[in-house]
Amino acid sequence: MSTRHFTEPAKKHLGQHFLHDRRIIDMIVQAVDPKPGDRLVEIGPGQGAITFPLLDRHGELTVIEFDRDLIFPLTDAARAHGTLEVIHRDVLSVDFSAIARNSGAGDGKIRLVGNLPYNLSSPILFHALDHATAIHDMVFMLQKEVVDRMAAGPGSKVYGRLGVMLQAYCHVTPLFDVPPGAFKPPPKVDSAVVRLVPRAPETIGVADPAMFTAVVRDAFGQRRKTLRNALSKLCDAAAIEAVGVRPDARAEQIEVADFVRLANSLAKA
């Protein structure tokens, strides 16, 4: 894939780092492994490093791009590869559920892929969670530190709010690491590719999403505090103990299922 159509340099304020390593590109396309009938939606196509190989494999693709200077080069170059639909919007304002409803996909869901801007990765992940029932799976490249946090379990130094929230609603599987040299310009950190598969609604078990969010947020708000102190605005020690969780434990020691059970109990009360 040639970048001769693209004359705009990467824009630091948009967190742009353009992937160019062919081996990594092929690994991402293989991880996505598009099938006939899939509705693929790429977030932040940049200069098309993943876009054009996916088009070659699948024939059609929807991309969400905020940088207007990339719209024409993407559209122009895509003609040689397949059918490209460009949504020129901030991804946080895009209704993934609406795209899925109009997708014509066999299961009525979309598949998300993208090299996410590192300065917006967490907001994008939480935005995707809001539309999880409309998403079949997600294959994202992110800062490795973020992927480590997403997949961490209790007892890990990087286990926190992001991991608990994502794991409650999705299966999180780190796939492979990506070195800085795979990008132009190279970022100052390592990257990694991760797959997220939303859980079936009946297996999630969160009765009140707002209460669950509040419990996890407050529990990790001050990591050094015990649950008894961190959750004092939401409940007392007896309520924590009632669901089999120690009030003197800290948030990083608590399983995802324990957070779900506590939030459900508080929601009932």
Q: Which helix (H) or strand (E) holds 214?
A: helix 209-219
Query: E strands, 6-134, where?
Result: 18-19, 40-43, 60-64, 83-87, 110-115
**Binding site annotation covers 90?**
yes
3-state DSSP call for residue 197?
Answer: strand
**Binding site annotation covers 44?**
yes
Q: How far apart, in whole angstroms, are the C-alpha atoms of residue 144 and residue 151?
A: 11
**Binding site annotation covers 85?**
no
Phi, psi of 233 (to 5 degrees): -80, -20
Q: Which residue has the tokens 């939401």?
A: 234
CB 23 within 8 A of CB 53: no
**Binding site annotation covers 65?**
yes
Q: Which residues are annotated as a binding site for S-adenosyl-L-methionine?
A: 17, 19, 44, 65, 90, 115
Q: Which residues are annotated as a binding site?
A: 17, 19, 44, 65, 90, 115
